[in-house]
Chains A and B, each alone.
Chain A
Amino acid sequence: AQSVTQLDSQVPVFEEAPVELRCNYSSSVSVYLFWYVQYPNQGLQLLLKYLSGSTLVKGINGFEAEFNKSQTSFHLRKPSVHISDTAEYFCAVKGQAGTALIFGKGTTLSVSS
């Protein structure tokens, strides 16, 4: 079985500052890792995913994440955030083909001017 822990429930930052949202996972098998963003009363939008290969993954909206197998982490980063990045961010893990995504509890990113 897989599980995901998002270490910060809320992350307040100022506009143009860098941000890191932390995610750790546990699994007994190889996994795929994802980051999604959710705006209020909307579905989920995929930011990026790690399937295999390069451990540094670049996604949309300037976000990137690094897969660290030894630390079982998949932290999300952005060098300079915008007000429009304010949203809920979910880290998710998936094991074998055909299985559902398992989500972390989410991190609320609040960007202020």
Chain B
Amino acid sequence: GAVVSQHPSRVICKSGTSVKIECRSLDFQATTMFWYRQFPKQSLMLMATSNEGSKATYEQGVEKDKFLINHASLTLSTLTVTSAHPEDSSFYICSARDGKTGLDTEAFFGQGTRLTVV
């Protein structure tokens, strides 16, 4: 299957700073990328959907000014957690869909990023 690389896998930052998480599709063009957040022992909650070259669509309750998403190219999407607080500590996972080759039915997931805000 296609490969999605997410970086970093772990990050610790101080409260009030910003953190950027990258999600790259390595062998396909990701026309759509999704960002999820996962709390301990819980399911994945969709945060936003981003299409290359356009603004992300955020789910209800997700602060767009706090979680900045950029999908500037067909192989890269970034999630920036701005002015991070301890309650933003979580596991963030991206997924990407190859909409060009007819494989739209499957999304490929990154390895996830464990964010800890101290």
**Chain A residues close to B by CB (< 8 Å):** 32, 34, 36, 41-46, 49, 51, 90, 94, 97-98, 100-106, 108
Contacts and interface: CB of A to CB of B under 8 A. Distances in A.
B105 A43 contact: no
Contact of B105 (A44, A45, A51): A51
22 contacts: A34-B106, A41-B114, A42-B111, A43-B4, A43-B93, A44-B44, A44-B93, A44-B95, A49-B106, A94-B105, A97-B105, A98-B32, A98-B97, A98-B104, A100-B34, A100-B46, A100-B107, A101-B34, A101-B95, A102-B46, A106-B43, A108-B41
B105 A90 contact: no
B104 A43 contact: no
Contact of A43 (B1, B6, B41, B42): B6
Contacts of B28: none
Interface residues of B, number: 26
B6 A105 contact: no
Contact of B99 (A49, A98, A100): A98
A101 B106 CA distance: 9
Contact of B43 (A43, A45, A90): A90
A103 B44 contact: yes
A43 B9 CA distance: 10
Interface string B79-115: 0000000000001010101010000111101111010
A-B complex: 10 closest residue pairs judged by Cβ atoms: A43-B111, A44-B109, A43-B109, A105-B43, A43-B112, A103-B43, A103-B44, A100-B34, A100-B46, A97-B104
A46 B43 contact: no
Contacts of B104: 97-98
B32 A106 contact: no
